[in-house]
Amino acid sequence: MINAIQESAIEEYISYLHNERETSYNTEISYERDLKKAADYFSENEICDFCLVTEVNLHSYLLYLEENHKSAATVSRSIASLRSFFQYLVRSRRIQKDPTENLKPPKVEKKAPEILTVDEVDRLLALPDRRTAKGMRDRAMLQLLYTTGMRVSELVHLKMGDVDLEFGYLTCSDHDRERRIPLEQGTRIIVEEYLDSARMELLKGKESEYLFCNCSGTPMSRQGFWKVLKSYASGAGIEKDITPHTMRHSFAAHQLQKGTDLKRVQQMLGHADISTTQIYSRIIG
């Protein structure tokens, strides 16, 4: 069981990431989860302070993860979290030597991303009931996610001022980086219908700067939208293990199939390195 000393060290580190490094919420949650799991293991082995952790202890922990059938990707992510944390402890002079220096992540086999067919996308987008406020919202969210390639975190954090229907674009912001994504005419119409006929009904008299809200009038969460997507995927008879990122992958692949320039797709996706976008070129052959 994690103790007060370990918990305090993790909290200080997460605060450092948030305030100094301006990391994303998802990164902070992931690091915190990985470090608390490691702290539990160390405590069970009578190591009650991160300052006492050695390279041998870390190798034992990684072996423990592998013996519990954790994937190579999970082990690699744990190593990344531990490295970042112990580097922070060195910089803040809590420890003199970084015990993670010689840790080597296992090789992770990169799988091709799951892509929906155009027919599967069409079935999915046609499913929401346009006669209800919820259906109009879901239709707008699914349409935006697929036709812009934006991340689900960007979708649920869209604010009213981020969408310009008159000029046909939306703005996605990620800390100091910002990109504009054009909106197809059909998408503009669907979002406009949602704003005109459904949003106020869902807000139930509340005020919100966010574009999308749930049926209680509060901002839609990533988890909430994930459930929405899973439900429609099931209704559309899609047997693939679909996630919000599947829509992003499908957008990229379908754009390239239509002949959109690779550099343009990179810009819309917000990839820093074009080699990341080139993965989709190999998928479509």
CA distance 256 to 198: 33
Q: What is the mean pLDDT of the chain?
A: 91
CA distance 3 to 270: 40
Query: pLDDT tens-digit profile of 190-221?
Result: 999 999 999 999 999 999 999 999 988 899 99
* pLDDT(98) > 70: yes
Sheet (strand 177-182) strand order: 163-164, 169-174, 177-182
Q: For residue 261, give the amino acid letter.
A: D
% of the chain surpassing 70 pLDDT:
97
DSSP letters, 163-184, are: EETTTTEEEEEETTEEEEEE--
Confidence of residue 177 (pLDDT cuts 50, 70, 90): confident
Cβ atoms of residues 59 and 18 within 8 Å: no
Residue 113 DSSP symbol: P
Query: pLDDT tens-digit profile of 224-254?
Result: 999 999 999 999 999 998 999 999 999 999 9
Token reading at 196: 């005109």
Cβ atoms of residues 202 and 134 within 8 Å: yes
Cβ atoms of residues 41 and 4 within 8 Å: no
Q: Is the entire prediction scored with pTM above 0.95?
A: no
Confidence of residue 279 (pLDDT cuts 50, 70, 90): confident
DSSP letters, 7-41, are: HHHHHHHHHHIIIII---HHHHHHHHHHHHHHHHH
Confidence of residue 110 (pLDDT cuts 50, 70, 90): low
CA distance 23 to 30: 11
* pLDDT(174) > 70: no
- Sequence-distant (6+) residues with CB within 8 A of 267 are 179
CA distance 105 to 215: 43
* Mean pLDDT score, 116-126: 96
DSSP letters, 215-282, are: TTSSBPPHHHHHHHHHHHHHHTT--S---HHHHHHHHHHHHHHTT--HHHHHHHHT-SSHHHHHHHHH
Domains of the chain: 4-91 (1.10.150), 118-284 (1.10.443.10)
Whole-number pLDDT of residue 116 = 95
* pLDDT(107) > 80: no
Whole-number pLDDT of residue 176 = 63
* pLDDT(151) > 80: yes
Short-list 270, 276, 277, CA closest to 177: 270
Whole-number pLDDT of residue 272 = 82
Which H or E element spans position 155? helix 152-156
Whole-number pLDDT of residue 173 = 77
Whole-number pLDDT of residue 109 = 61
Q: Environment class of residue 61 by beta-carbon count within 10 Å: exposed (0-12), middle (13-18) or buried (19+)? A: buried
Confidence of residue 138 (pLDDT cuts 50, 70, 90): very high
